[in-house]
Chain A
Amino acid sequence: MENADKILIVKNLKMQFPVKRTGIGEKRKYLKAVDDFSIEVERGKTFGLVGESGCGKTTAGKCILRIFRPTEGSILYNGRDISTASERELRDIRREIQLIFQDPYGSLDPRQSVRSILREAIVSDNQPHKSAEINERISELLSLVELPEEMSDRYPHEMSGGQRQRLGIARALACNPKLIVCDEPVSALDVSIQAQIINLFKKLQKKLNLTYIFIAHDLAVVKHIADVIAVMYLGSIVEMMTADELFQNPIHPYTKALLSAVPITDYYAEQGRNRIILEGEVPSPVNMPSGCPFHPRCAYATERCRTEKPHLAKCFDGHFVACHVMKPDGAEK
């Protein structure tokens, strides 16, 4: 893992948003969307980022894409720190990092046809392009995402959800990206279509040696596509491990609760499952609990958990946990 080619290294990323003051004289409150976020993404692999709403996974993705400018921390893309770069400085690598959106409809201009959407993506690299070249590239992209050629004159409202998502992927591919951030790309799709799109993602990764950062709340989906998975809660990573380890050996109490909450289509397994039902609600990120963000809901919380925030520490090869209490084999310390 240490010698592998890392396309992206994020260190101590922090992103906070100011919140409107409710009264004069009150201290300015901040919403800490992402805190102390550090990951390393290997080229050609998929890094999964899971968590529930408000955990900061989408914000982290948008920081990597430089849609937001992070409050603190460094983002090393191919060794170059892009966390503080200006728009002009980012121009030459802008197209290398792309985004696939959650809502396939909202991400397409309703007034543009398929052809026009793809053409815009192709010619925005400010290089001269011949018309024939552009048309060829459009055909190539459509066949890559398995959309028929006849689609090129259609408009988004005339396409199904799965087709729109394929178009979104084609647009991202038009820029010859190296790294693609996929923000919940299949959650808005029907079950029978999800499988088609997941398979497409995997096929394209092999063919074009793409690296994915796959953001999702559906653990099962992430398991089928990710090599490494990080679980987030209230802005911090609580556990990070390979995809197999997630199922076989979860350590953090939140990860365990998350896994047990996902119902599976295996009748006998379901009957015998130990269901961990968490108490309470996810607190607001504006009023973050002290110490470990999970402690108010954790069955194992100690005094130390209330005061001291745990950092991600290695417990096995490739398996990191941020918890004061849990031992590597899952039992308490």
Chain B
Amino acid sequence: MKKKNDRLNQAIRVFFSRGIIVKISFAIIVLLILVAIFAPVLTQYTETEQHLNDKLAKPSKTYLLGTDNLGRDLLTRLLYGARISLEASVLSSLIAACVGIMFGLVAGYYSGWIGSVIMRLTDAQLSMPPLVLCMVLAALLGGGVVGVCIVIGITIMPGYIRMIYGQVLALRENDFIVASKLVGQSSWKILLFHLLPNCFPTIIVMFTMNLGTAIMLESSLSFLGIGIKAPTPAWGSMVSEGYNYLVMRPYLSIIPGLCVMLVVIAFNIVGDAVRDAIDPRLRGKL
């Protein structure tokens, strides 16, 4: 519909008008995505290829960022690590969103004992430190990318449940919900077609911000050795592997660490800007 395109254009316009930092952050994320997709093309090495003669080599023409303690090219591992980070964060955020939104909708619409049970369980989960929770779940579920994603997904989930629950509680009282009931609309259709769409702005913002949180958690888990298992390159594990060589080859830990930091900040800034862009109050008309 023409009207929907207008709204999208308006949102994009507002998004990019927020200043240079937003533009830089957006560029970083685009770069991340491109790097993740084109990693094999950008480097001649594979991420697990070991050059044992060139262990801990300094940056040179052959190895642009040097090699690690097993002779693996740092740049290559960095690029493939981007892929892992992106995969892990998107997958875990999706898991968190889908399950969390579902619980939030049900808890908010059918208050009473179902709602209470869900919210109390959520509260219980939130009272545990996220990293500790992750560690317990990782121990139970084992490693592997999918396992890690499920673990992180479950850890991030309560944020969605709480948020959607609150939104639904407020939206539920609106006249248009009453109107739908009066024309005979069934409850699940009201949930799906009225309540859920009106939560979209919040969901989009939460999702964007959670991508940053997910990368943080994944890096932390990998750093501790319970996340993505070797030899798959993950920025977090690269930081921990480079720890022993911090004095002579500091960049082995610092560069992957910087990457994590930049990407997380970028996601947070973009998440903020997306929220501002989607806010209907900024839609031009006075």
Contacts and interface: CB of A to CB of B under 8 A. Distances in A.
Interface of A: 65, 67, 91, 94-95, 97-99, 101, 103, 106-111, 113, 120-121, 124-126, 153-155, 157-158, 168, 171, 174-175
Contacts, number: 67
A243 B50 CA distance: 95
- What is the interface of chain A mostly: helix, strand, loop, or mixed? loop
A101 B179 contact: yes
Nearest to A121: B183
B182 interface: yes
B180 interface: yes
Contacts of A121: 183
Contacts of B188: none
A155 B7 CA distance: 11
Contacts of B200: 111
Interface of B: 1-3, 174-176, 178-185, 193-194, 197-198, 200, 280
Given A106-B175, A109-B194, A111-B197, A153 B184 contact: no
A45 B181 CA distance: 26
A108 B176 contact: yes
B200 to A, nearest CB: 8
Contacts of B179: 99, 101, 107-108, 168, 171
Given A103-B175, A110-B198, 14 more contacts: A94-B182, A95-B183, A101-B175, A106-B175, A107-B179, A109-B197, A111-B200, A120-B180, A120-B193, A121-B183, A124-B180, A153-B3, A157-B280, A175-B183
A113 B1 contact: yes
Contact of B184 (A99, A155, A168, A175): A175
Given A109-B198, A110-B198, A153-B1, A99 B178 contact: yes
A107 B182 contact: no
Contacts of B180: 109, 120, 124
A107 B193 CA distance: 15
B176 A99 contact: no
A168 B179 CA distance: 9
Nearest to A122: B183
A304 to B, nearest CB: 42
Given A103-B175, A108-B176, A154 B3 contact: yes
A120 B175 contact: no
A285 B276 CA distance: 43
B184 A94 contact: yes
Contacts of A97: 182
A17 to B, nearest CB: 15
Nearest to A126: B184
Given A113-B1, A153-B1, A155-B3, A107 B175 contact: yes
A171 B180 CA distance: 10
Contacts of A110: 198, 280
Contact of A106 (B174, B183, B280): B174
Given A153-B3, A155-B3, A106 B176 contact: yes
A67 B1 contact: no
B1 to A, nearest CB: 6
Contacts of A113: 1, 3
Given A109-B198, A154-B3, A124 B185 contact: yes
8 contacts: A67-B178, A98-B183, A99-B179, A99-B182, A109-B197, A111-B198, A153-B3, A171-B183
Contacts of A99: 178-179, 182
Most chain A CB atoms below 10 A, which of B176, B181, B197: B176
B241 to A, nearest CB: 49
Contacts of A155: 3
Contact of A65 (B2, B182, B184, B198): B182
Contact of B176 (A67, A109, A174): A109
